[in-house]
A and B are shown apart, each in its own frame.
Chain A
């Protein structure tokens, strides 16, 4: 009687032997062969021991302490990840309308706006116009169609993903994609900064942007 190979038995023991015919043939042999049956049992026993072992903690490990550390680190990591996710926020999906639906919607919106504007008291209308003039988009890269800000309004901005100086529609930013937790600061004398520990080099790094009169 030709016995199956050790590999075939090992696979059959875990239900991993491929091919219906091969599985049937080897199983039929094992059912009739005491030696191969003993071998299969040893293999299954070994797998059971692995499962039991895998559920046990390493010796001398203080699990409560380690779990506490890991939980703390996970929270720090999530906080850092949130900051980066804000910077890399995906663009909003565009709503796609059929042409007819778009036309109807546009006309309805126009009628509503005209009616709203006519019904607005004068002071509120003036305030609203002033507010529209000051609206700026916030997405990086959008062409600014509103009038350029006045010369004295230079903006420094500090977020947990970048710091930047904006001047007449142009921007210089220092980002920190390799940071491990960032601390943002601004100085009223005209600087914005972020301090972090570089995740690769381990160095404390401080990026700042300044505005000064040229």
Chain B
């Protein structure tokens, strides 16, 4: 199918003495029948800087897209590649937004590329479309990055949380809603976070003695999947090669699940480390192992080094064979402590921001839109 493409050469300003010029050549390529069209691409304050023997290219582009259909859009995922820099790597930028027919919306791409100085003058950066999710949960796009699943799960979380906040509003009025939003802000402020590296290959990279640690599991009563056992190897601030087993306790076939992974360090602090996704064909009642050869590393932050003592897993999402999904309810998420560690959904963050910037009335108006 012929493609729509917009090519733009962005000349990047700024130069250190003796370094070669470089320019990011931005190419935006959307299919001809894409439900979104690109109206403009503003390069913003992009720049290049020579740092030692490397060239650092900063691209801060603002794209303006338009919904060219008569349906409401709930999510768009763009794929970003820079083949000359990281041939095996790619990025994506997804936005979750309620976009009406013919409405325009912005997508910001803040990209940084680091490559050796001795490279070609032009650095091609391609932006394509991985998928568009509509309000009725139908999807358009090649879905090479599984954006349909990701955006559908995000949409379900958004609907869950909007329903929750609307119920608070109905029960206790704006004051009750405000109280919950302020508590959410406090949880977000207190939420611990970690820097994480994912290393393929499972090779040991530190010298500490390794120990095998069993996973503990959070039981979510409504979860269609039950984790039954799990171990991983821990050495200092690294966790390697988790091996898990899960059981489908529903009466429907499951094709994908994701397990959230909480780490506990030696001081008792708990952090959401990441997730273990698994594509599998799990019939009702069936068990299946999940094996990963990946290593998670937690780089030192300041003067403190993370020393991992324990791990807790919980089922964070399930996709059935028919494409429908399950996510934990807010009741399932249970304690304030767990919510603090896991963090809010994107929708909850968005609603909190509306309250912070525009106040309770604007928040109520926003909730009443849905």
Q: Do chains A and B touch in the complex (CB under 8 A)?
A: yes
Distance between Cα atoms of A191 and B258 in the complex (Å) = 13
Contact B274 A185, beta carbon cutoff 8 Å: yes
* B 101-112 binary contact with A (CB < 8 Å = 1; else 0): 000011011111
Residues from chain A with a CB closer than 8 A to the CB of B182 are 68-69, 72
* B 177-219 binary contact with A (CB < 8 Å = 1; else 0): 0100010011011000111111111010101000000000000
Contact A75 B207, beta carbon cutoff 8 Å: no
Contact A158 B95, beta carbon cutoff 8 Å: no
User: Shortest CB–CB separation between residue A75 and chain B, in angstroms?
Assistant: 4
B321 sits at the interface (CB 8 A):
no
Distance between Cα atoms of A211 and B53 in the complex (Å) = 25
Chain A residue at minimum C-beta to C-beta distance from B98: A203
B343 sits at the interface (CB 8 A):
yes
- Total interface residues on B, CB under 8 Å, equals 76
User: Shortest CB–CB separation between residue B230 and chain A, in angstroms?
Assistant: 12
Distance between Cα atoms of A65 and B182 in the complex (Å) = 10
Contact A174 B346, beta carbon cutoff 8 Å: no
Chain A residue at minimum C-beta to C-beta distance from B274: A186
CB within 8 Å of A: which B242-297 residues: 242, 258, 272-277, 292, 294, 296
Residues from chain B with a CB closer than 8 A to the CB of A187 are 198, 258, 274-277
A143 sits at the interface (CB 8 A):
yes
Chain A residue at minimum C-beta to C-beta distance from B203: A153
Assess A212 versus B110: contact at CB under 8 Å? Given A143-B52, A203-B95, A204-B346: no
User: Shortest CB–CB separation between residue B331 and chain A, in angstroms?
Assistant: 21
Contact B110 A174, beta carbon cutoff 8 Å: yes
Distance between Cα atoms of A194 and B343 in the complex (Å) = 12
* B 286-327 binary contact with A (CB < 8 Å = 1; else 0): 000000101010010000000000000000000000000000
Name the one of A156, A176, A188, A196 contacting B349, with C-beta atoms under 8 angstroms: A196
Distance between Cα atoms of A150 and B90 in the complex (Å) = 20
Contact B188 A181, beta carbon cutoff 8 Å: yes
Residues from chain B with a CB closer than 8 A to the CB of A175 are 110-112
Contact B80 A184, beta carbon cutoff 8 Å: no
* A 163-206 binary contact with B (CB < 8 Å = 1; else 0): 11111011111111110110111111111100111111111111
Contact B56 A140, beta carbon cutoff 8 Å: yes
B85 sits at the interface (CB 8 A):
yes
User: Shortest CB–CB separation between residue B217 and chain A, in angstroms?
Assistant: 17
Contact A197 B53, beta carbon cutoff 8 Å: no
A60 sits at the interface (CB 8 A):
no
Assess A195 versus B346: contact at CB under 8 Å? Given A155-B197, A158-B195, A188-B296: yes
B18 sits at the interface (CB 8 A):
no
Name the one of B89, B189, B198, B272 contacting A76, with C-beta atoms under 8 angstroms: B189
Residues from chain B with a CB closer than 8 A to the CB of A146 are none
A8 sits at the interface (CB 8 A):
no
User: Shortest CB–CB separation between residue A173 and chain B, in angstroms?
Assistant: 4
CB within 8 Å of A: which B105-137 residues: 105-106, 108-116
B168 sits at the interface (CB 8 A):
no
Distance between Cα atoms of A94 and B47 in the complex (Å) = 26
User: Shortest CB–CB separation between residue A214 and chain B, in angstroms?
Assistant: 5
Most buried by B among A130, A162, A198, A208: A208
Chain A residue at minimum C-beta to C-beta distance from B195: A159
Distance between Cα atoms of A191 and B201 in the complex (Å) = 14
Contact A157 B197, beta carbon cutoff 8 Å: yes
Contact A178 B108, beta carbon cutoff 8 Å: yes
B82 sits at the interface (CB 8 A):
yes
B25 sits at the interface (CB 8 A):
no
Contact B93 A174, beta carbon cutoff 8 Å: yes
Assess A205 versus B205: contact at CB under 8 Å? Given A141-B114, A172-B85, A174-B80: no
Contact A183 B343, beta carbon cutoff 8 Å: yes
Distance between Cα atoms of A19 and B295 in the complex (Å) = 75
A88 sits at the interface (CB 8 A):
no
Chain B residues close to A by CB (< 8 Å): 49, 51-54, 56, 60, 80, 82, 85-97, 105-106, 108-116, 145, 150, 154, 158, 178, 182, 185-186, 188-189, 193-201, 203, 205, 207, 242, 258, 272-277, 292, 294, 296, 299, 343-344, 346-347, 349-350, 353-354, 356
The 5 lowest CB-CB distance pairs between A and B, nearest first, are: A141-B51, A143-B53, A165-B89, A204-B346, A186-B274
Known A152-B203, A154-B89, A208-B94; further 20 A-B contacts with Cβ < 8 A: A75-B186, A142-B52, A156-B198, A157-B195, A157-B197, A157-B198, A158-B197, A165-B89, A174-B109, A184-B196, A186-B273, A188-B292, A197-B353, A202-B350, A202-B354, A205-B94, A207-B92, A210-B91, A212-B88, A212-B90
Q: Can you list 10 contacts pairing A with B, beta carbon distance less than 8 Å? A: A72-B189, A140-B112, A167-B89, A171-B112, A172-B112, A184-B196, A191-B198, A192-B198, A208-B94, A212-B88
